[in-house]
Amino acid sequence: MHPNDPRLKSFVDVTPDSHFPIQNLPFGVFNTRENPVLRVGVAIGDWVLDLSILEQTSLLSIAPAGQQVFNNTSLNPFISLGRAAWLDARKEISQLLRYDNPILRDDAALRNKALTLRSAVKLHLPISVAGYTDFYSSKEHATNVGSMFRDPQNPLLSNWLHIPIGYNGRASSVVVSETAVRRPNGQLKPPNEDQPIFGPSRKLDFELETAFIVGEESNLGEPVSVSDAEEKNFGMVLLNDWSARDIQQWEYVPLGPFNSKSFATSISPWVVMMEALQPFRVDSPTQDPLPLPYLRQSGKQAYDIQLEVRLIPSDGSMNKLCRTNFRYLYWTMAQQLAHHTASGCNVRVGDLMGSGTISGATPDSWGSLLELTWNGKKPFVLEDGTERTFLEDGDTIVLSGWCEADNYRIGFGEVSGIVMPAV
């Protein structure tokens, strides 16, 4: 039975609303209080399956003889084995977790060693981030921003419909979910001041994004074709590209974001393999004008991934800010990678490629406070009646995402971060 088969059941109890049924099996890096060593696991229901234990007992044999890839501090050694190994690992893990397979199910000692409640583990950055690139792939988001800051009648720059716009960010400041984010200091140019000032950002924002992880390196000088790009994608995570809008507005001309973006980028701890997302493929938005030949694709190139953002102020109340969908993105992941390498730029295992803010067509689907409050002109009213134009110290932002099937979900879990005061 294929690991994606909706009829599959595990001996591990999984509720219908869980993000982590047997059809998912996302990879992450964890440790426990009892065993502080970082190692690789997969999420199954409310549990984490320790793949290093399965590897040590030869129940999971993916790497060449004598090599251990799951007793590691990142997924990179496993990812480096290549696509065939990824699929074999997922198939073998699925087989071991099946309800009718007694190998793990009936071995109480092994099961107790290999399975740990997710509530009892600490999750870590799942990959060693080789490089980080952030794209600008939502037509709705780009239109909103262009309407705000340029010309509402012509909000998109002339290149936007021809090229996946992106910039190179800082891999060093990519952090895992639940890492606190310090409000950045930087140069600001208040509209009523003649000269810039230096101080804490007054317009700190979130950006609702996803990202994909490059699973196969390319050679310098050799572009990756759009038809081959999909095979190099290991999996996806949720991503919050925190943004200091006031710092950004002053610094971004002429070379784009710098300090306004480099202070933190948060990703979710579980990497969902692209294979688990295949049942949820859908058509992408129509691209008009037709892209240049090196970017042209056919078939279903998007995924039906529901995305949501919640804000939790210091009083602990829950406020839904927006709900949107990955399927709205104008430029696809394969097009992003093909364009990234078109010049001959090489990519490496662990490169992180952000989607850019994902917004839909309606105000409740806009993926940033910049849009939701129209740059602070229309404050967002929280459940308790207080307002937000941008994030305040003590606010926690939580991004979540999932694909919905008839009787199960393929989810990403969450990526969250609390805003701490500037120093």
Active site (catalytic) residues? 141
CA dist 26 and 269 (Å) reads: 9
Pairing of strands 121-124, 115-117: unpaired
Written as one letter, the residue type at 176 is V
CA dist 180 and 224 (Å) reads: 36
What 3-state class would DSSP assign to 335? helix
CA dist 341 and 309 (Å) reads: 32
Where residue 159 falls (left for φ over 0; alpha for ψ -120 to 50; beta otherwise) is: alpha
Q: Which of 67, 76, 206, 186 is nearest to 131 (CA)?
A: 76
Q: Which of 310, 270, 302 is nearest to 412 (CA)?
A: 270
228: CB partners within 8 A, 6+ apart:
none
Structure-token match 């696809």, residue found: 332
b vs e for 95-111, b when ≥16 Cβ sit within 10 Å of the residue's Cβ?
ebbbeeeeebbeeeebb
CB atoms within 10 A of CB 55: 22
Phi, psi of 140 (to 5 degrees): -65, -45
Helices (H), 65-217: 76-79, 83-97, 102-105, 108-114, 139-149
CA dist 128 and 159 (Å) reads: 33
Where residue 10 falls (left for φ over 0; alpha for ψ -120 to 50; beta otherwise) is: beta
Structure-token match 């490629």, residue found: 353
Q: Which of 56, 10, 47 is nearest to 26 (CA)?
A: 47
